[in-house]
């Protein structure tokens, strides 16, 4: 099957305008007859569900949380980018587009990224109108700050809780539609399969997490907005519930999976401290605006940080990247931290940490200003570690944060299955091999508010004549039976170990062998190890309780079972991509000074995988990336 | 450290609950309270027993999912701290810790420590929003907002909807939650057009959900993990009064 990205004709600047002017429309009377199922209610899902309902579609929204306000979009701290140029510092749609393409190491689609930059300003307008309390200046106008990988100030923020405020805005818009009767909201419902009939998505199978009931929901289109899959690493900055199940089921039913190995490792997270650890906590990248990253120059220097004089410190980011300094993009900052720790210059009890020091900022600005900028982050740091970062430098280490990979989508955000859409982090589209800070919120809301509501009309206009989809169709029987038998199978194992026991093992393999640095050797080892752990899981897992009740162990087991299969695909993809780009770093492919070495002549494409059945190698399809405007070059932040 | 835990166990919403006692040894002082529960659950699973069901997700103190009453206090002994951000270093070796779910008629227990907080969503659906459809918004800098006002609105908007205010209140009042949303939107020019209908509709829904009345004990503010101030309740009362009078005039 040839991949058709459906990029509209015309110059980059004209594509989206032309698309909007020519896309097929659905009349208001017909919208009332069309059901859209939206899975996930984070930024992308909530904004899409609300906007579609405002247009007049009949929307059902599903979340496994107890409320649509809980999705992990809420944890984003730093901000959201938009090309408003309120700073008069030379920002423009083109610059935001260019920075995103370059930041993604030239592995994203030009047309999609340009559109993202184009609608970025509308997002800020929309959110302000909803009452999102962005930071303001004394004149009453909106404040901006700068973020990694860029040289303008285009990031809008709401203290250190930007994600929370944006999500609450989208949540309120969604609840308004619930109150008006335009959205049927299903909380504590988890999607366990998508139903396909004659090659089109016609519904989903969900489990009511309170009663355990398996339900069928039919619709004219299914929109997946289920977030990223970083929890395949067990320890990540993701929330405990984040999982791959919805998109993995879609993948197994025919949706191609794009660039599965592209994982973002965030440089400023709290280091791991014990075996019982359940997750890693991120400290906003905005800290790198004023904090200076360093390690001792000498290996194994065990002195307290205050006792190490300036001359014996290595501010390695400032040394290696003088023009961007501490604000280099995430992939570069993370790799640099790993490098100094591998050299034996890491700090803390494990040696797997570097300092993020605010002493100079406090001297320059005063503690009050630092407190106003980062107070809540400092507080959070102290709560978790027991150390006071005003007095002693923070200790940080990279951790898995975001997955650029996801379901392959065309310009319309449609997967390879007609009627099945993927928006937000769960698609692969806009960030290439590395996402810039403050761009995830932008993409989630762009997809949900301003892109999907237009593009989905292209498909739904053809569904008007199709009539109502029927949950009694045999395809629903099959999907429901498959879900039920999988649950029965899990209960029948009656093994010795908890789900977490296996998940932790999987995570360690993924981190050690398919994490920040990958090689042919490590990936070959990972392929073998994952299979072993997966087999052990299916022979020895113990699920307590019963299927027909609130059962968190069963929920976890269903998710982890999919993580094993995903892990294998990530390894396959990382193995095939014989180059380094963005977050994907192959040890065999680096420049003499240790930077990522791309091979544009061989790998300037999206790897989109097609599921071929249990235990079969997946088939890889290529979408060649054509750069018509930007000239790809070796990324340099020196 | 070694701990004795007394945990509320309840099979489902119609079953009768009871406290079970568990002994947990060698708990790391740097573990979070929920990680301590992970260790307990792993132990229970290994013994073939059913683990304790509890709500949690981000474990960064922002999603508002976690909800435990610890030694009689919503989210435990620390101020401005959710259960997930509470660490074991704040307890002592040999402590007995009593853990219960949020208790309120409007938040029925679903299982063990998990409750149903759907009432909060229904209150928001009744009016906790600005009616602006996607695409209608003017340029974001069209209306300047005084920095102080924006900051005040933010203070109220920081609510995470966890329900600790209700759990802490002897009357199970939801006034702090409702007042935070009413304040957030009433303080901003964008929320002004629907100011009166919003407060009337939200309060009506709050009453319908079976939350109790506010008697100004301020327990909600003391236990709120985000430090939402009771001055918001005063503002809610003013807004409600003004809206009621305006409604009478019509």
Please state, in angstroms and rounded to a whole number, the distance separating the CA atoms of residues B176 and A59: 31
| Predicted confidence (pLDDT) per residue in A603-622, tens digit | 999 999 999 999 999 999 99
- Average pLDDT over chain B reads 97
| Predicted confidence (pLDDT) per residue in A285-339, tens digit | 889 989 999 999 999 999 999 999 999 999 999 999 998 999 998 889 999 999 9
Residue B192 zone, left/alpha/beta (φ > 0; ψ -120 to 50; rest): alpha
Whether residues A552 and B57 touch (CB distance < 8 A) is answered with no
For chains A and B, what is the number of CB pairs under 8 angstroms?
Answer: 219
Q: State the CB neighbour count (10 A cutoff) for residue A101.
A: 25
Please state, in angstroms and rounded to a whole number, the distance separating the CA atoms of residues A73 and A584: 24
Task: Please answer whether residues A382 and A358 qualify as being in contact, where contact means their C-beta atoms are separated by less than 8 angstroms.
Answer: no
Burial of A226 (0-12, 13-18, 19+ CB in 10 A): buried
Q: Select the more confidently predicted residue: A159 or B109.
A: B109
Rounded to two decimals, the ipTM of the complex is 0.98
Whether residues A72 and B57 touch (CB distance < 8 A) is answered with yes
Average pLDDT of the residues in A173-192: 98
Q: Kindly indicate the confidence band of residue A89, based on its pLDDT and cuts at 50, 70 and 90.
A: very high
Residues linked to residue A60 through DSSP beta bridges, in sequence order: A37, A184
Please state, in angstroms and rounded to a whole number, the distance separating the CA atoms of residues A382 and A379: 5
SS3 assignment, position A58: strand
Closest to A61 measured CA to CA, from A176, A196, A231, A214: A176
* Angle separating helix axes B147-157 and B175-186, nearest 10 degrees: 150
CA distances from B7 to A45, B68, B148 (A): 36, 10, 44
Task: Please answer whether residues A224 and A41 qualify as being in contact, where contact means their C-beta atoms are separated by less than 8 angstroms.
Answer: no
Q: Which domains does chain A show, CATH number per domain?
A: 268-398 (3.90.700.10), 474-614 (1.20.58.100)
- Contact status of B50 with chain A (Cβ, < 8 Å): yes
Minimal CA separation from A451 to chain B, in Å: 11
Interface test with B, best of A31, A52, A66 (most B CBs within 10 A): A66
| Predicted confidence (pLDDT) per residue in B133-153, tens digit | 999 999 999 999 999 999 999
- Res B66 pLDDT > 80: yes
- Contact status of B129 with chain A (Cβ, < 8 Å): yes
Residues linked to residue A207 through DSSP beta bridges, in sequence order: A190, A214
Minimal CA separation from A124 to chain B, in Å: 6
Whether residues A66 and B153 touch (CB distance < 8 A) is answered with no
Whether residues B65 and A70 touch (CB distance < 8 A) is answered with yes
* Residues of chain B found within 8 Å of residue A158, distances taken between Cβ atoms: 154
Please state, in angstroms and rounded to a whole number, the distance separating the CA atoms of residues B107 and B120: 9
Minimal CA separation from A382 to chain B, in Å: 10
Which residues make Cβ contacts (< 8 Å) with residue B189, sequence separation at least 6?
Answer: B143, B145
Nearest to B42 among A138, A450, A498 (CB): A498
Q: How far from the centroid of its chain's Cα atoms is residue A637's Cα? A: 24
Task: Report the chain A residue with the minimal C-alpha distance to residue B129.
Answer: A172
Whether residues B190 and A50 touch (CB distance < 8 A) is answered with no
| Predicted confidence (pLDDT) per residue in A108-130, tens digit | 999 999 999 999 999 999 999 99
Interface test with A, best of B62, B142, B152, B194 (most A CBs within 10 A): B62
Residue B93 zone, left/alpha/beta (φ > 0; ψ -120 to 50; rest): beta
Chain position carrying tokens 């932790």: A504
CA distances from B166 to A334, A441, B103, B218, B224 (A): 43, 31, 8, 11, 10
Whether residues A66 and B145 touch (CB distance < 8 A) is answered with no
- Contact status of B57 with chain A (Cβ, < 8 Å): yes
- Res A146 pLDDT > 90: no
Task: Report the chain A residue with the minimal C-alpha distance to residue B62.
Answer: A75
Average pLDDT of the residues in A580-586: 96
- Contact status of B14 with chain A (Cβ, < 8 Å): no
CA-atom Rg of chain A in angstroms:
24
- What's the pLDDT at A1? 67
Burial of A219 (0-12, 13-18, 19+ CB in 10 A): buried
Catalytic pick from A58, A69, A109, A330?
Answer: A330
Backbone angles phi, psi at A192, to 5 degrees: -120, -10
Nearest to B158 among A71, A161, A241 (CB): A161
Closest to A432 measured CA to CA, from A290, A635, A170: A635
- Res A159 pLDDT > 90: no
Interface test with A, best of B53, B61, B140 (most A CBs within 10 A): B140
Whether residues B31 and A137 touch (CB distance < 8 A) is answered with no
Helix (H) or strand (E) holding A601: helix A600-603
- What's the pLDDT at A160? 84
A69 catalytic per annotation: no
Average pLDDT of the residues in A206-226: 98
- What's the pLDDT at A375? 86
Whether residues B140 and A50 touch (CB distance < 8 A) is answered with no
- What's the pLDDT at B250? 67
- Average pLDDT over chain A reads 96
Nearest to B128 among A72, A172, A240 (CB): A172
Residues linked to residue A208 through DSSP beta bridges, in sequence order: A189
Strand pairing class (A58-62; A183-186): parallel
Task: Report the chain B residue with the minimal C-alpha distance to residue A169.
Answer: B129
Percent of chain B with pLDDT over 90: 98
Please state, in angstroms and rounded to a whole number, the distance separating the CA atoms of residues A95 and A151: 10
- What's the pLDDT at A138? 95
Whether residues A276 and B38 touch (CB distance < 8 A) is answered with yes
- Contact status of B226 with chain A (Cβ, < 8 Å): no
| Predicted confidence (pLDDT) per residue in B150-173, tens digit | 999 999 999 999 999 999 999 999
Which residues make Cβ contacts (< 8 Å) with residue A597, sequence separation at least 6?
Answer: A579, A580, A589, A590, A591
Closest to A182 measured CA to CA, from B133, B118, B191: B133
Q: Kindly indicate the confidence band of residue A148, based on its pLDDT and cuts at 50, 70 and 90.
A: confident
* Residues of chain B found within 8 Å of residue A277, distances taken between Cβ atoms: 31, 35
Closest to A441 measured CA to CA, from A35, A42, A59: A42
- What's the pLDDT at A408? 98
Joined tokens for residue A182? 């335009």
SS3 assignment, position A333: helix
* Angle separating helix axes A245-252 and A552-576, nearest 10 degrees: 60
Residue A157 zone, left/alpha/beta (φ > 0; ψ -120 to 50; rest): beta
Whether residues B48 and A134 touch (CB distance < 8 A) is answered with no
Task: Please answer whether residues A202 and A469 qualify as being in contact, where contact means their C-beta atoms are separated by less than 8 angstroms.
Answer: yes
CA atoms within 13 A on the CB side of B35: 24
- Res A509 pLDDT > 90: yes
The total number of residues shown for chain A amounts to 638
CA distances from A511 to A573, A594, B186 (A): 15, 20, 48
CA distances from A324 to A151, A172, A282, A289, A318 (A): 8, 39, 21, 11, 8
Nearest to A276 among B28, B56, B157 (CB): B28
Average pLDDT of the residues in B92-119: 97
Whether residues B35 and A159 touch (CB distance < 8 A) is answered with no
- What's the pLDDT at A634? 81
Please state, in angstroms and rounded to a whole number, the distance separating the CA atoms of residues B136 and A251: 36
SS3 assignment, position B158: coil
| Predicted confidence (pLDDT) per residue in B114-124, tens digit | 999 999 999 99
Joined tokens for residue A575? 């193995």
Q: Which of residues 96-115 of B touch A (CB under 8 A)?
A: 110-111, 114
SS3 assignment, position A129: helix
Q: Which domains does chain B show, CATH number per domain?
A: 3-110 (3.10.20.30), 117-249 (1.10.1060.10)
| Predicted confidence (pLDDT) per residue in B215-240, tens digit | 999 999 999 999 999 999 999 999 99
Minimal CA separation from A196 to chain B, in Å: 31
- What's the pLDDT at A78? 83
């Amino acid at each position: 099957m040839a991949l058709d990205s459906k990029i509209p004709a015309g110059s980059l600047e004209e594509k989206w305008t032309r698309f909007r002017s020519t896309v097929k429309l659905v009349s208001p009377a017909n919208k009332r007859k069309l059901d859209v199922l939206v899975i996930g209610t984070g930024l992308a899902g909530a904004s899409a569900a609300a906007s579609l309902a405002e247009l007049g579609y009949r929307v059902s929204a599903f979340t496994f949380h107890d409320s649509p306000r809980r999705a992990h979009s809420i944890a984003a701290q730093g901000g959201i980018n938009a090309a408003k140029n309120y700073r008069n510092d030379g920002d423009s749609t083109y610059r935001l587009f260019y920075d995103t393409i370059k930041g993604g190491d030239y592995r994203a689609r030009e047309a999609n990224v340009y559109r993202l930059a184009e609608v970025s300003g509308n997002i800020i307008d929309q959110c302000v109108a909803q009452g999102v309390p962005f930071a303001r200046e004394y004149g009453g106008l909106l404040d901006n700050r700068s973020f990694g990988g860029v040289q303008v100030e285009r990031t809008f923020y709401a203290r250190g809780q930007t994600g929370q405020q944006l999500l609450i805005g989208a949540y309120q818009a969604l609840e308004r539609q619930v109150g008006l009767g335009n959205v049927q909201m299903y909380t504590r419902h988890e999607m366990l399969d998508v139903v396909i009939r004659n090659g089109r998505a016609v519904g989903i199978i969900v489990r009511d997490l309170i009663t355990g009931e398996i339900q069928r929901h039919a619709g004219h289109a299914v929109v997946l907005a289920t977030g990223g899959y970083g929890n395949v690493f067990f320890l990540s900055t993701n929330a405990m519930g984040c999982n791959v199940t919805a998109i993995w089921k879609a993948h197994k039913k025919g949706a191609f999976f794009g660039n599965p190995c592209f994982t973002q490792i965030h440089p400023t997270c709290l280091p791991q401290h014990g075996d019982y650890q359940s997750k890693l906590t991120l400290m906003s990248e905005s800290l790198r605006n004023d904090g200076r990253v360093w390690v001792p120059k000498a290996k194994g220097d065990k002195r307290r940080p205050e006792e190490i004089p300036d001359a014996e410190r290595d501010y390695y980011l400032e040394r290696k990247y003088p023009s961007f300094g501490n604000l280099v993009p995430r992939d570069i900052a993370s790799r640099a931290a790993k490098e100094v720790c591998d050299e034996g210059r890491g700090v803390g009890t494990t040696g797997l940490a570097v300092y993020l020091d605010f002493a100079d900022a406090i001297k320059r600005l005063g503690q009050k200003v630092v407190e106003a900028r980062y107070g809540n982050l400092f507080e959070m740091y102290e709560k978790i570690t027991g150390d006071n970062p005003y007095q002693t430098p923070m200790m940080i280490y990279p951790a898995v944060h975001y997955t650029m990979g996801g379901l392959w989508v065309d310009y319309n955000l449609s997967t390879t299955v007609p009627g099945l859409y993927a928006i937000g982090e769960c698609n692969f589209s806009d960030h290439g091999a590395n996402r810039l800070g403050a761009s995830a919120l932008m993409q989630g809301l762009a997809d949900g508010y301003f892109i999907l509501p237009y593009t989905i009309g292209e498909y739904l206009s053809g569904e008007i004549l199709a009539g109502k989809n029927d949950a009694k169709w045999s395809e629903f029987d099959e999907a429901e039976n498959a879900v039920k038998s999988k649950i029965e199978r899990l209960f029948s194992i009656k093994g010795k170990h908890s789900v977490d026991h296996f998940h932790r093992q999987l995570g360690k393999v993924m981190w050690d062998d398919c994490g920040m640095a990958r090689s042919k050797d490590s990936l070959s080892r990972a392929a073998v190890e994952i299979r072993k752990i997966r087999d052990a899981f299916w022979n020895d897992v113990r699920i307590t309780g019963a299927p027909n009740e609130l059962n968190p162990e069963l929920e976890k087991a269903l998710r982890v079972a999919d993580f094993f299969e995903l892990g294998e695909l990530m390894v396959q993809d990382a193995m095939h991509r014989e180059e380094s780009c963005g977050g994907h770093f192959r040890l065999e492919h680096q420049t003499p000074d240790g930077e990522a070495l791309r091979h544009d002549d061989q790998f300037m494409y999206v790897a989109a995988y097609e599921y071929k059945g249990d235990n079969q190698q997946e088939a890889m399809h290529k979408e060649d990336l054509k750069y018509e405007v930007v000239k790809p070059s070796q990324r340099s932040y020196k | 450290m070694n701990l004795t835990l007394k945990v509320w166990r309840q099979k489902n919403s119609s079953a009768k609950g009871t406290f079970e006692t568990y002994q947990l040894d060698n708990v790391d002082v740097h573990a979070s309270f929920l990680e301590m529960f992970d260790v307990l659950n792993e132990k229970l699973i290994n013994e073939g027993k059913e683990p304790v069901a509890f709500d949690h997700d981000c474990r960064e103190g922002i999603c508002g999912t976690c909800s435990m009453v610890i030694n009689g206090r919503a989210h435990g002994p620390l101020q401005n701290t959710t259960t997930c951000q509470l660490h074991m270093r704040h307890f002592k070796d040999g402590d007995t810790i009593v853990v219960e779910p949020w208790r309120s008629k409007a938040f029925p227990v679903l299982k063990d420590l998990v409750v149903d907080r759907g009432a909060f969503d229904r209150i928001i659906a009744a009016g906790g929003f600005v009616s602006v459809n996607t695409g209608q918004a003017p340029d974001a800098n069209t209306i300047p907002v005084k920095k102080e006002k924006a900051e005040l609105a933010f203070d109220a908007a920081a609510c995470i909807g966890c329900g600790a205010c209700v759990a802490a209140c002897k009357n199970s009042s939801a006034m702090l939650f409702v007042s935070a949303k009413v304040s957030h939107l009433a303080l901003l020019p964008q929320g002004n057009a629907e100011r009166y209908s919003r407060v009337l509709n939200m309060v009506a829904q709050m009453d319908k959900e079976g939350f109790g009345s506010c008697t100004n004990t301020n327990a909600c503010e003391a236990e709120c993990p985000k430090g939402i101030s009771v001055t918001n309740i005063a503002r809610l009362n003013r807004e409600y009064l003004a809206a009621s009078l305006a409604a009478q005039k019509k």
